[in-house]
Amino acid sequence: MLKISAIPAFKDNYIWLLQRGNHTVVVDPGDATPVISLLKALSLNLDAILITHHHADHIDGVNELLRHWPAKVYAPKRSQYNFPHQAVAENSIIQLGALELNLVVMELPGHTLDHVGYYGANSLFCGDTLFGGGCGRLFEGTPQQMYLALQRLANLPEDTAIYCAHEYTQHNLEFALSLEPDNVALTQRLADVSLQRQKGEPSLPSTIRLELETNPFLRCLKPAIQHAAGFNPSTAINVDPAEVFSVIRSLRNHY
């Protein structure tokens, strides 16, 4: 059976660990230390490393991990890296034979221009693109690019499990509720997540279904969100959802 678990790193990063038998893959190892301790303790082999984008908190552990295991590294072709890797782009297929798992690459520019996601086995590893109840900041891309990337994810099957790289869900949901105080699913999710966090459990994985119900960045066509963004949904028939997205992304930056 394929097992997926979170290795916490830094203040609020998750390095996702995929495991079948004693074979493993990690996603975005910004820090090698917690990965090495865990794999050594359980006598597991690191087969591969998946990178979603070039930020330090997602790649800085790679060289150290490669000193311990001859793992194959996959990283987006738009960036350069100081470690050996196979460059991936839209529709690249990652065959992880020992894990009996194939993943397909989706290019998701917005947070950075090189950003990719890895999709397969009903799961999405989306780095800093989609977060629980939110989305990544726009460091390199335009709001239009990010909106489009998020729309692609919104169209994945609703039961797709969402593995993001940060534990930002609770604060994201508090912001979401400030935009949509009457969203019952959102109120419920915030209560659920608060409880999980009190117990020290991750709020992830989420699902596309849950995000569609509660994530304002996937709800730019909803009148309540458009209203909160300062548009009048009843008179403005042609409100551009990417513009709504842009406004609420700015609001979130200062929340």
The footprint of Fe ion (CB under 5 A) covers: 57, 128
Residues 29-68 as x/- pattern, contact with Zn ion by CB under 5 A: --------------------------x-------------
Closest distance between Zn ion and the C-beta of residue 53, in Å?
6
Q: What are phi and psi of 252, to 5 degrees?
A: -65, -30
| Residue entry with tokens 């999710």 | 189
Using the rule CB under 5 A, is 167 a contact of Zn ion? Answer: no
- Calpha distance 208→87 (Å, rounded): 27
Contact 67, 49 (CB under 8 A): no
Closest distance between Zn ion and the C-beta of residue 111, in Å?
6
The residue range among 66-74, 86-94, 123-131, 149-157 that interacts with Zn ion, by the rule CB under 5 A, is: 123-131
- Calpha distance 130→146 (Å, rounded): 10
- Calpha distance 28→30 (Å, rounded): 6
95's CB contacts (< 8 A; 6+ apart) are: 102
Closest distance between Zn ion and the C-beta of residue 210, in Å?
22
Closest distance between Zn ion and the C-beta of residue 135, in Å?
11
**Residue closer to Fe ion, measured from CB, 131 or 231:** 131
For residue 249, the partner it binds in Fe ion, Zn ion, none, with Cβ less than 5 to 8 A by kind, is: none
Q: What are the strands of the beta sheet with 93-96, ordered from one edge?
A: 93-96, 101-107, 116-120, 123-127, 161-164, 206-207
Contact 93, 104 (CB under 8 A): yes
Using the rule CB under 5 A, is 128 a contact of Zn ion? Answer: yes
For residue 78, the partner it binds in Fe ion, Zn ion, none, with Cβ less than 5 to 8 A by kind, is: none
**Minimal CB distance to Zn ion: which residue?**
55
Closest distance between Fe ion and the C-beta of residue 128, in Å?
4
Closest distance between Zn ion and the C-beta of residue 93, in Å?
24
SS3 content of the chain, % helix, strand, coil (to 5): 35, 25, 40
Using the rule CB under 5 A, is 78 a contact of Zn ion? Answer: no
- Calpha distance 16→138 (Å, rounded): 23
Q: Could you tell me the maximum CA-CA distance found in the chain, to the nearest angstrom?
A: 63
**Residue closer to Fe ion, measured from CB, 57 or 114:** 57
**Residue closer to Zn ion, measured from CB, 23 or 55:** 55
**Residue closer to Fe ion, measured from CB, 59 or 106:** 59
**Residue closer to Zn ion, measured from CB, 138 or 173:** 138
**Pick from 108, 119, 118: which is nearest to 150 by CA?**
108
Instruction: Give the binding site for Zn ion (CB under 5 A).
Output: 55, 128
